[in-house]
Amino acid sequence: MSEVKKVVLAYSGGLDTSVILKWLQDTYQCEIVTFTADIGQGEELEPARAKALKFGIKPEHIYIDDLREEFVRDFVFPMFRANTIYEGEYLLGTSIARPLIAKRQIEIARAVKADAVSHGATGKGNDQVRFELGYYALEPGIKVVAPWREWDLLSREKLLAYAEKAGIPIEMKHKQGGAPYSMDANLLHISYEGRHLEDPKAEAEESMWRWTVAPEAAPDTPEYLDVEFEQGDIVALNGKRMTPAEVLTELNKLGGKHGIGRLDLVENRYVGMKSRGCYETPGGTIMLRAHRAIESITLDREVAHLKDDLMPRYASLIYNGYWWSPERKALQVLIDHTQQAVNGWVRLKLYKGNVYTIARDSKNTLFDQTIATFDDDGGAYDQADAGGFIKLNALRMRIAENARRKRG
């Protein structure tokens, strides 16, 4: 398999990608460049460098990049401008990270003149699609090596045997049958899949959750939070201006403290199967509530409804890996255009797993208290106009009913 001369591997330093690194060396006899992305998973990433060096990777071919600000600014925030949720619940924490990782991998491949890229996604999941659609969209002629679709290490026993033979350290949890869940974390969320969760009837153990306290164990006193927006993005919390990554980090802390953002979901994967996953998205849950609140007073009715109509399509594009597609980019232009007047502040109450909107205001508000009041409006709204409005809107239904009666 000498057609691959140099490959950039998305490398976490964990067991699976360490096995992949050695397998690439054994199978392709190619030069390997490792890329480890810091997107806020909260883990120490320098051990990945030491492991890569142990495999003979050149120091200049080990990339560990802090992408946290870019992740939130250029991927999470644009997605939340659309109030994006997949299948009514999922805030797309894993999905939105993949196009960034693919982008940086391709940038590195160009810099080191690699002819291939590789990832550790399995042949059953969505991530293989997300990574590879990103690769091909950004570098059409790139070669992709997907070990899980090529090798015969399709059982954990075979994987562990290969690792042991190759001298790859195996943690005790793997020797004893593995951690109870497959986890993926970034600044937006943690996802949990596999093992105990593969039975949709089984409740997830309380010990599984990492970021959030149980709602019933959250503080008995609510906490109030002021969120400030500029053009649809959060720029300050409680009057303190923050960078995008700082905003999401703080919201995660606040949401986790109050038991906000847990989700247990059976979703439809793009490859065709149903999959059960659990998610913790404390900061994202707060962001979504706050954004919808500020939009409620700053967006025209039909614009808001158009956004809601388009959102499921936009969400599916992200979930299915089409972030770099022309249709997603076109939708983003429309979405971003709607956000020009989405400025102002929202006051939230955080309490026992819930986020409540209690106040909002904007210099761009479309809420006219003079017209909306139930008290005397001084002639601002002529209620008699409503009669003709209703009759005109009922006209087609009246015609249809009269025709039905004539037919007997």
Query: What is the tens place of the pLDDT at every residue in 205-247?
Result: 999 999 999 999 999 999 999 999 999 999 999 999 999 999 9
Q: What is the DSSP letter of 149?
A: G
Laid out side by side, the sheet with 274-280 consists of 182-185, 190-193, 274-280, 262-268
Q: What is the DSSP letter of 203?
A: P
Find the mean pLDDT for residues 90-110.
98
Find the mean pLDDT for residues 340-357.
98
| 325 marked among binding-site residues | no
Max CA pair span of the chain? 87
Residue 101 three-state SS: helix
Cα–Cα distances in angstroms (integers) from residue 313 to residues 31, 181, 396, in the given order = 40, 30, 31
| Distance, CA of 212 to CA of 66 (rounded, Å) | 25
CA nearest 258: which of 304, 318, 321, 214? Answer: 214
Q: What is the DSSP letter of 407?
A: H
Which residue in 49, 68, 104, 127 is the catalytic one? 127
Q: 289 and 357 in contact (C-beta within 8 Å)?
A: yes
Confidence at residue 326, expressed as pLDDT on a 0 to 100 scale: 98
Confidence at residue 381, expressed as pLDDT on a 0 to 100 scale: 93
Per-residue pLDDT tens over the stretch 365-381: 999 999 999 999 899 99
Q: What percent of the chain has pLDDT over 70?
A: 97
| 130 marked among binding-site residues | yes
**How many residues does this entry show for the chain?**
408
| 191 marked among binding-site residues | yes
Per-residue pLDDT tens over the stretch 259-275: 999 999 999 999 999 99
Lowest mean pLDDT, pick from 36-45, 179-188, 227-236, 313-322:
179-188
Residue 395 three-state SS: helix
| 344 marked among binding-site residues | no
Which residue in 65, 115, 182, 328 is the catalytic one? 182
What angle do helix axes 98-112 and 127-138 make, rounded to 10 degrees? 40
182 is catalytic: yes
Confidence at residue 1, expressed as pLDDT on a 0 to 100 scale: 47
For residue 293, the tally of other CB atoms under 10 A from its CB is 23
If you count DSSP H runs as helices and E runs as strands, how many of each does the chain have, helices first? 14, 14
| 322 marked among binding-site residues | no
Residue 2 three-state SS: coil
| Distance, CA of 321 to CA of 138 (rounded, Å) | 13
Place of tokens 């087609």: 396
Q: Give the pLDDT band (50/70/90) at residue 169.
A: confident
Which residue in 16, 275, 289, 360 is the catalytic one? 16
26 is catalytic: no
Confidence at residue 28, expressed as pLDDT on a 0 to 100 scale: 95
Confidence at residue 156, expressed as pLDDT on a 0 to 100 scale: 76
User: Has residue 251 got a pLDDT over 50?
Assistant: yes
Confidence at residue 168, expressed as pLDDT on a 0 to 100 scale: 86
207 is catalytic: no
| 155 marked among binding-site residues | no
| 95 marked among binding-site residues | yes
Find the mean pLDDT for residues 322-340.
98
**Bridge-based pairing state of the strands 182-185 and 143-145:** unpaired
Confidence at residue 85, expressed as pLDDT on a 0 to 100 scale: 98
Strand partners, 112: none
Residue 267 token pair: 């979703």
- The chain-wide mean pLDDT, for the chain, equals 95
Confidence at residue 195, expressed as pLDDT on a 0 to 100 scale: 84
Residue 205 token pair: 């153990």
User: Has residue 343 got a pLDDT over 70?
Assistant: yes
For residue 388, the tally of other CB atoms under 10 A from its CB is 9
Per-residue pLDDT tens over the stretch 12-56: 988 889 999 999 999 999 999 999 999 999 888 999 999 999 999
Q: 324 and 137 in contact (C-beta within 8 Å)?
A: yes
Q: Give the pLDDT band (50/70/90) at residue 179.
A: low
User: Has residue 201 got a pLDDT over 80?
Assistant: yes
Confidence at residue 174, expressed as pLDDT on a 0 to 100 scale: 52
127 is catalytic: yes
Please provide residue 114's backbone torsions phi and psi, each rounded to the nearest 5 degrees: -80, 150
Q: Give the pLDDT band (50/70/90) at residue 196.
A: confident
Find the mean pLDDT for residues 67-96.
98
Confidence at residue 154, expressed as pLDDT on a 0 to 100 scale: 82
Give the DSSP per-residue string, 274-343: EEEEEEE-HHHHHHHHHHHHHHHHHS-HHHHHHHHHHHHHHHHHHHTT-TTSHHHHHHHHHHHHHTTT--
Q: Give the pLDDT band (50/70/90) at residue 173.
A: low
